[in-house]
Amino acid sequence: MTIFSVHHATTYRYKRPVRPGQHQLLFRPRDSFDQRLLDCRLTIEPEPVAIRWIHDVFGNCVTLVDFAASTTVLTFDTSIRLEHTPEKSPDFLIEDYARSHPFAYHPEEQPDLLPYMRRHHGDDHAIDEWLARFVTIGASQPTGRLLMTLNEAIAEGFSYQRRTARGTQTPAETLALQQGTCRDFALLMIEAARSLGFAARFITGYVYVPARDGPVRLGGGSTHAWCQIYVPGSGWVEFDPTNGIVGNRDLIRVGVARTPQQAIPISGTYWGDADDELGLDVSVHVNTEA
């Protein structure tokens, strides 16, 4: 078991005073058998007029913040401590009927999995053409090996490029550019897995970057994104195609969603002109406690 501490600071700057509208924050880790929240603190400047918490449609803990004052600087500062238990992976425990792909999910599970099986870029044939390079579509093959091959193909075949612009590339754009951010790679793997008949969902959170004598980890210094794929017998298994990680090692899960647009760490509005926004600064530090 490891104790992680996370410090996440986001600062928006404006060239003249604006009044912030409601902001939505997704930063509180999801409690589970493999991670348990010990402490969570939030500091906001200017002081909000109201803060409340809700659970969204996916069961994520979302913070809603309202303001009454105008400001030229808006800061959200969060500090988190949690216990984290890494899984022994890739030790897939798969139900007999799903050990070889292709397979069909159990009828009792299919209604709940269908929203995560439906492709959102179904007319994007670039994914199918890319998969055909290393996957024999329709041929029987071990399920675990297929998913690991897909994860490794993205980790080894694409260049990580940090991008400050909002939004996520389409899978076709990522395939054409052969580069992207963690969000882009997560979406590419999700859509590729769905095209193969798997249920897949998007994850936002944090990644621990070990010291220089440890494995290289991409995506540090900001929020991180990866995906989960539903494997009968193992449940939702984590795949980080940016780093080639299978399982939750070094990954701190915050929010799950069907699409990247539903799992934005911070979003909100302000009353002012479009050119009032000067930009934002984001810093994330994840450390372990002795």
CATH number of the domain residue 66 falls in = 2.60.40.2250
Number of domains comprising the chain: 2
* Residues 114 and 157 both lie in one domain: yes
Tell me which residue of 69, 49, 20 sits closest to 276, measured CA to CA: 20
Residue 92's pLDDT is 77
pLDDT-based confidence at residue 212 (cuts at 50, 70, 90):
very low
Mean pLDDT of the chain: 92
Task: Establish if 279 belongs to a structural domain.
Answer: yes
* Residues 24 and 80 both lie in one domain: yes
The DSSP letter of residue 272 is: S
Q: What are the strands, taking DSSP E only, across 96-242?
A: 100-101, 141-142, 159-160, 179-180, 200-207, 224-231, 235-240
* Residues 249 and 141 both lie in one domain: yes
* 60 close to 26: Cβ distance less than 8 angstroms: yes
φ, ψ of residue 116 to 5 degrees: the values are: -90, -5
- 259-270: pLDDT as tens digits: 999 999 999 999
The domain spanning residue 212 has which CATH number? 3.10.620.30
pLDDT, mean of residues 76-80: 97
How far is C-alpha 22 from the geometric centre of its chain's CA atoms? 23
Residue 214's pLDDT is 45
Residue 78's pLDDT is 97
Task: Establish if 166 belongs to a structural domain.
Answer: yes
* Residues 255 and 276 both lie in one domain: no
Task: Establish if 227 belongs to a structural domain.
Answer: yes
What's this model's pTM, rounded to 2 decimal places? 0.92
Q: Which residues contact 163 (CB under 8 A, 6 or more apart)?
A: 180, 181
Task: Establish if 232 belongs to a structural domain.
Answer: yes
What is the distance in angstroms between the CA of the first residue and the CA of the last residue of the chain?
11
Rounded-to-integer distance, Cα 34 and Cα 133, Å: 35
Residue 209's pLDDT is 84
- Residue 170 CA neighbour count, 13 Å, CB half: 12
Element at 64 (helix H, strand E): strand 61-66
Task: Establish if 91 belongs to a structural domain.
Answer: no
Rounded-to-integer distance, Cα 130 and Cα 126, Å: 6
φ, ψ of residue 113 to 5 degrees: the values are: -90, -20
Question: Can you give the residue range of the structural domain that contains 71?
Answer: 2-85+264-288
